[in-house]
Structures are given as C-alpha cells and as structure tokens.
C-alpha cells in the first residue's frame, strides 16, 4: 500500500486540514512555505493522467476551496497550485496529489521559472494538439 493510502487509512499520522468522503487534505511534512498543503483523493490513482474525471474534479474543487482559505488565513500574497505527474516532473509519491503552496514573496523557498528554450513552430504545435 502506498504511503498516502496509509495516511488515508490513519495507519500513519498526519495533520488533517480537510476531509470528506472522497478527498483528504493534509499539511505537507516538508512545509516549503507555511501552510503548504496536499490535497489527495481517497481512491488510489497514480496521477492526473490516470485519474477518472470525478476523482480529478473532487480534488480540484477542494484545492480551489482550500487555496482561498489558506491565502486568507495566512495572509499570503499569492499561491501556487500544482500537481507533479511522473518522475521527470518531480513526482515522488505515486498517489495523485495537488500541492497548495502559499507564497509570501517571490524570494521565498520555492522558485518556479519558465526559462527560454528552443523556439517552437506554434502553428505545428497547435495542429498537433488541436482536436480534428
């Protein structure tokens, strides 16, 4: 059983911020910033690509609700809401979860950078991604 399933089953203790029949939200043990929270479905799905719509929706609704609450109650200036999917994207726990990371300034402990890279042919990329 994965570590988040053990947390959901109360076999491993955690700081529960929110719980309903489908979703659990806990404080991330690493607290990148104060209030860093993880929202996860109670059903084990590996990541967003493998999640059914109902499971993804339940998580996103909860993440939205909690992001608002966390920003209001911590006085954060902003928030990052993100899910890592796959090892290349930094996923270390293979049970879907959304990070809610309140941001207090652009110099706090997290950096998300969009660095310039290889120029893309937008028409070709768009044609690839658009529905026929």
DSSP lists the bridge partners of residue 79 as 102
When asked if residue 82 is in the footprint of Zn ion (CB under 5 A), the reply is: no
Convert the chain into a string of H (helix), E (strand) and C (coil): CCHHHHHHCCCCCCCEEEECCCEEEEECCCCCCCCCEEEEECCCCCCHHHCCHHHHHHHHHHHHHHHHHHHHHHCCCEEEEECCCCHHHCCCCCCCCEEEEEECCCCCCCCCCCCCCCCCCHHHHHHHHCCC
Site mask, ligand AMP, residues 42-81, x = CB under 6 A? ----------------------------------------
Please, which residue, 7 or 76, has the CB nearer to Zn ion? 7
When asked if residue 93 is in the footprint of ligand AMP (CB under 6 A), the reply is: yes
Tell me how many residues contact ligand AMP (CB under 6 A).
Answer: 13
Name the catalytic one among 10, 36, 44, 97.
97
When asked if residue 97 is in the footprint of Zn ion (CB under 5 A), the reply is: no
36 a catalytic residue:
no
Site mask, Zn ion, residues 7-46, x = CB under 5 A? -------------------------------------x--
Among 21, 90, 111, 132, binds ligand AMP (CB under 6 A): 90
Convert 41-56 into a string of H (helix), E (strand) and C (coil): ECCCCCCHHHCCHHHH
Which residues have a catalytic role annotated?
Answer: 97
């Amino acid at each position: 059983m994965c570590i988040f399933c053990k947390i959901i089953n109360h076999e491993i203790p955690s700081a529960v911020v929110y719980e309903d029949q489908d979703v659990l939200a806990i404080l991330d043990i690493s607290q990148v910033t104060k209030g860093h929270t993880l929202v996860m479905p109670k059903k084990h799905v590996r990541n967003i690509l493998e999640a059914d719509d109902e499971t993804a929706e339940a998580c996103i609704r909860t993440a939205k609700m909690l992001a608002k609450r966390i920003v209001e109650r911590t006085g954060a200036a902003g928030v990052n809401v993100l899910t890592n999917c796959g090892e290349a994207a930094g996923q270390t726990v293979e049970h879907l979860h959304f990070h809610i990371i309140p941001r207090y300034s652009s110099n706090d402990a997290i950096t998300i950078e969009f660095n310039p890279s290889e120029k893309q042919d937008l028409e070709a990329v768009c044609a690839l991604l658009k529905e026929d």
